[in-house]
A and B are shown apart, each in its own frame.
Chain A
Amino acid sequence: MVHLTSPAFKENATRALADPGLQKALARTKPQFHGKRAKAVAGLPEFEQLREIGKNIKNHTLANLDFYLERYAAKVEEAGGKVHWCSTADEARAAVLRICRDAGAKTVTKGKSMISEELGINDHLESHGITPVETDLGEYILQLRKEPPSHIIGPAFHLNREDWEESFRESHTDLDPKRVFTERRDILTEARTKLRSRFLAADVGITGANFLIAETGSSVIVTNEGNGDLTQTLPKVHIALASIEKVVPTLEDATSLLRLLARSATGQDFSVYTTFSTGVRRQGDLDGPEEYHVVLIDNGRSNMIGTEFQEMLRCIRCAACMNHCPVYGVTGGHAYGWVYPGPMGSVLTPTLVGVDKAGHLPNASTFCGRCESVCPVKIPLPKLMRHWREREFERHLTPGTVRTNLGLWAWFAKRPAMYRAATRLGIGALSLLGKGKGKFGWMPLAEGWTRGRDLPAPEPGGTFMARYAKTRRNGR
């Protein structure tokens, strides 16, 4: 499993803010993340209706998840495939290793898969003498650099061109060390050549799955490079890793979600390769795997059903929430300290590793609501993060000072007359002090806030409640 540094989120974030390479990458990337999605959405007038439809499809499936999973598994077996049901990450790792060993595998190619990061498949295979090769360009360089992904669809967006050149020179030692990378294209071509031989030599190909389809027993992957397709087409064994919430009933359901996915993710109308895999090579086929395995993974998800976190299982992993998050936008993904960063990670990580370890994540949000407003399946991410804050508070995991201040505030808030008197005094004093300046550059007890920005002074006219009462009196 990926090393967990979520408990050190604050330190991670501080380091990220001071990392010039990362800040350069973020500055380059952010406008792209926003602009491309906005343009794709503007190009499809029905997008808002499709979001509602996507939400309903997922809700319907989750309400009948047991039925659809069994239906899906039966169809996979009909097409000559095998489904391995795994409750835990341990079971899933063991299943993958068993399949690879049975195939006598020496090397395994991999398409990009976040669940494989969650399971730590690479380390597990390596420790048992099998070489995993990441084939997505971004994942490939991260494997060379021994780094985890920092984004669920653009895993290496935090790297700059210099980093690519440096890593390739260090790793591809059989090539001329003095070779020149004139363009980005040269980097890509070198990776293409290097990986082509790995694709052809691999004994097993492992991919993730964006959707599973109960109607046909298909697993669906969505890529732009074509690496996922080479991974699942060339070796004699294909393993698809998928968590249980990936299933949808029909092709029509998957189609509606696919209309949302690429637009929300990369701002494309449709990804270059959307591929449906169903079972084993058919008689007479000239290519395709002879074995097809689906490793179906729960790893904590079934416990979310029936709780306030069930809505999180609608997630289709598009990354729009992190692409639009002001916190992710300055810290990048590594600061979150586990597999899934950004708002979706802040909800999912505490579920999967425990709120005692990942409690900082749901607190690392301004609740600005942009994540929810761009989510293609309308997951109320701020609400779910608030649920985690509540659970954290209930379990006394919240720091003492926060608890004391919250207690103080609650005491006042439950006594409206006193609360109004106190705010009236405070607002009055502040507007008097801030008269003419309109803002404060420094404020006692709020230095943490004023160190980085000014606090606006209240406008004259009293508190909201005072103005409201006045308006009511004037009969408007």
Chain B
Amino acid sequence: MSKDAILGAIRRGLKRGPLPADQAAMLEGRIAAHPRHLIPARSRLPRPEQIALFIKNVEKEFGTVERIADVSAVPAAITDYLAAQNLPARLVMAPHPELEAIDWSSRPLLARETRRAQDGDLVSLQHAWAGVAETGTLFFPSDPVRPATLNLLPETEIVLLRASAIVGAYEEAWDRLRAERKDPLTGGWMPRNLMLVTGPSRSADIEQTLELGAHGPRRLHILLVEDEAAPREMSRAEARAQATAQPGTPATPGD
């Protein structure tokens, strides 16, 4: 069988048989502990600056951000945005409870359908599970309430993100996902599909010149809900302590 042939060839190269149980257990331990490596200092900032860094990075990657006081401002913000982009007041949205709980009655002319995306949909409204300040990246774990097609088919994707869901580095999002999610199939926490999205779709395949909107959305617009209580001012010393790069946990045996 090819599996045995491949594993056999690897072991011959490594000049050993299958790993002894104690060494295999050590490697299982490394997976269970999933040690962090060096995390760049750039995202270790006092809270308001961390959110500002997120916004700066989204904009650097050609996304747009509008800060809104709370979710009740969503219908007006979307209507105005679509009008400004000269787009029809029509969208398809994720069946996420936070989106469904919004009172849309103030904008009766904004047509909404709650479903996955189909060809021909121009605008989607999606729910972001987290934002990562380090590079302005959005996390979209797939779920019945968060279909992945909404991130891909429409030309314009509008995203609702709570400021409290912004973390500094990717590793913080991994830990949150590990703690919060339970997968119905595996009992683990990894969803079927997890998209990390940084800005709108693009290609530089034609003469190395950047063009937005290759196959995915041409516009990525984030409605950032300011849901955090005024954050406690961090002392300068605290900020400095957090700003130094954290070296990773020492590598495990075998590293």
Contact = CB atoms under 8 A, between A and B. Distances in A.
Interface stretch (A85-93, A365-373, A466-474): A85-93
B37 A53 contact: yes
A224 B214 contact: yes
A79 interface: yes
Contacts, number: 284
B119 A196 contact: yes
Interface in A371-401: none
Given A46-B245, A229-B216, A285-B144, A66 B208 contact: no
Contacts of B192: 79, 277-282, 285, 288
Contacts of A280: 185, 192
Nearest to A136: B205
Interface in B192-215: 192-209, 211, 213-215
A252 interface: yes
Interface stretch (A264-272, A325-333, A455-463): A264-272
A135 B190 contact: no
A358 to B, nearest CB: 21
A275 B170 CA distance: 13
A87 B184 CA distance: 34
Interface string B1-29: 11101110111111100110000100110
Nearest to B141: A276
Interface stretch (B69-77, B102-110, B247-255): B247-255
B19 A66 contact: yes
A224 B203 contact: yes
A200 interface: yes
Contacts of B48: none
Contacts of A218: 190, 194
A273 B195 contact: yes
Contact of B254 (A64, A136, A305): A64
A227 to B, nearest CB: 5
B101 interface: no
B183 to A, nearest CB: 7
- For B18, B204, B209, B248, the residue with the greatest tally of chain A CB atoms inside 10 Å of its CB is B204
A126 to B, nearest CB: 23
Interface in A191-233: 192, 195-196, 199-200, 214-218, 224-227, 229-230, 233
B185 A229 contact: no
A233 B187 CA distance: 22
Given A269-B57, A283-B185, A86 B2 contact: yes
A266 B61 CA distance: 13
B186 interface: yes
A56 B195 contact: no
Contacts of A32: 208
- For A56, A259, A266, A296, the residue with the greatest tally of chain B CB atoms inside 10 Å of its CB is A259
B88 interface: no
Interface in B217-255: 217, 245, 248, 251-252, 254-255
Nearest to B12: A306
B151 interface: yes
Nearest to B209: A184
Given A154-B205, A184-B207, A282-B192, A215 B214 contact: no
A326 B195 CA distance: 37
A233 B118 CA distance: 12
A135 B215 contact: yes
Contacts of A249: 27, 30-31, 34
A7 interface: no
B148 A252 contact: no
A423 interface: no
B127 to A, nearest CB: 13
B2 A273 contact: no
Given A44-B40, A288-B193, A226 B152 contact: yes
Given A64-B19, A279-B192, A225 B201 contact: yes
Nearest to A184: B206
Interface residues of B, number: 86
Contact of A216 (B15, B170, B190, B206): B190
A432 B11 CA distance: 61
Contact of B203 (A78, A188, A274, A279): A188
A347 interface: no
B193 A276 contact: yes
B190 A137 contact: no
- For A154, A259, A270, A304, the residue with the greatest tally of chain B CB atoms inside 10 Å of its CB is A270
A111 B107 CA distance: 40
B254 A63 contact: yes
Contact of A227 (B41, B215, B252): B215
Contacts of B15: 306
A157 interface: yes
- For B42, B137, B216, the residue with the greatest tally of chain A CB atoms inside 10 Å of its CB is B216
A256 interface: yes
B199 A310 contact: no
B147 A287 contact: yes
B143 interface: yes
B151 A229 contact: yes
A56 B255 contact: yes
Interface string A235-274: 0000000001000011111011011000000101111111
A225 B203 CA distance: 6
A275 B14 contact: no
A156 B208 contact: no
Q: Closest 10 A-B residue pairs measured CB to CB?
A: A226-B216, A305-B13, A306-B13, A225-B214, A302-B9, A284-B144, A138-B205, A85-B3, A286-B116, A250-B34
Given A60-B255, A217-B190, 10 more contacts: A50-B40, A57-B37, A60-B251, A79-B190, A87-B2, A226-B217, A250-B30, A250-B31, A287-B148, A302-B13
Interface of B: 1-3, 5-7, 9-15, 18-19, 24, 27-28, 30-31, 34-38, 40-42, 57, 61, 95, 115-116, 119, 134-135, 137, 142-144, 147-149, 151-153, 170-171, 174, 183-186, 188, 190-209, 211, 213-217, 245, 248, 251-252, 254-255
7 contacts: A87-B2, A87-B6, A161-B207, A188-B213, A266-B204, A275-B196, A282-B185
